[in-house]
């Protein structure tokens, strides 16, 4: 799924294919009311220095 998404994004930046839609992750009810934390801060210092860790912590929910 990740490689499909990367390919979709790669095509988008080449000007090919549909525009992209980013639906917020997490509890949508809480998200819409602003009650949920938008960012997980666990191990943030380590994640800040390591893009792969940051990416893992921010993955989009998959349908």
Partner 1 sequence: MIHGHATPQGLFFPHAGVRISEDSATLISPEMIDRVLWPYIERSVEPFGGGFVHYCGKHDYLFQKLCSSRLVKAIDLGNPEKYDARWVLERCAESSTVLYSRIPAIDGEGWFEYTERVGFLVKETGARCVLRPTVYPETMKECQVILDLWHDITG
Q: Which residues of this protein are in contact with partner 1, per CB under 8 A?
A: 5-6, 9-10, 12-13, 15, 17-25, 28-29, 38-39, 54-55, 58-61, 63
Residue of 63, 60, 62 whose CA lies nearest to 25: 60
State in angstroms the smallest separation of the CB of 44 from partner 1. Answer: 12
State in angstroms the smallest separation of the CB of 39 from partner 1. Answer: 6
Token output for 41: 């801060």
State in angstroms the smallest separation of the CB of 6 from partner 1. Answer: 5
Q: How far apart are CA 46 and CA 22, in angstroms?
A: 26
């Amino acid at each position: 799924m990740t490689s499909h998404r990367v390919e979709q994004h790669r095509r988008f930046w080449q000007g090919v294919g549909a525009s992209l839609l980013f639906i917020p992750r997490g509890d949508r009810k809480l998200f819409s009311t602003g009650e949920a934390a938008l960012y997980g801060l666990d191990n943030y210092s380590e994640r800040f220095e390591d893009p792969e860790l940051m990416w893992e912590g921010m993955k989009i929910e998959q349908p």
